[in-house]
């Protein structure tokens, strides 16, 4: 059975995204958000983790409850989807650090499937 791809333009927007991450995003198993570089929290985290300076996106599990985020691993990507670093939930919280990805477009099939 073919699953419905979530994003129409993921290949164009994130050409260097690892295939396993792309599949997990397309299957809605993982979620992706843009890093909000204008927030103070981001700037403080960059002082601790230098790889975050080039981060444009973060991939995480939307299925893990907030109280269990210390067990999660966040994958930070550059603007092409290349993996920059992995950061554990014990090192940082994503709350207040991310915003929606405005450049990734939901497919019509996906939109129709969530309306049902």
The whole-number pLDDT of residue 101 equals 94
DSSP state string for 37-78: TTSHHHHHHHHH-GGGGG--EEEE-TTS-GGGGGG-EEEEE-
**Digits of tens for pLDDT over the chain (116 positions)?**
467 899 999 999 999 999 999 999 999 999 999 999 888 888 888 888 878 889 999 999 988 887 887 888 999 999 999 999 999 888 888 888 899 999 999 999 999 988 76
Q: Indicate the pTM of the whole model.
A: 0.89
């Amino acid at each position: 059975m073919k699953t419905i791809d979530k994003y129409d333009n993921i290949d164009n927007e994130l050409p260097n995204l690892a295939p396993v991450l792309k599949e997990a995003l397309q299957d809605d198993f993982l979620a992706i958000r843009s890093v909000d570089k204008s927030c103070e929290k981001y700037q403080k985290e960059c002082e601790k983790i230098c790889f975050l300076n080039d981060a444009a996106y973060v991939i995480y599990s939307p299925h893990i409850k907030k109280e269990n985020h210390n067990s999660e691993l966040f994958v930070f990507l550059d603007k092409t989807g290349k993996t920059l670093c992995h950061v554990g939930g014990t090192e940082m919280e994503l709350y207040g650090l991310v915003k929606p990805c405005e450049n990734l477009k939901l497919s019509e099939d996906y939109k129709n499937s969530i309306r049902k």
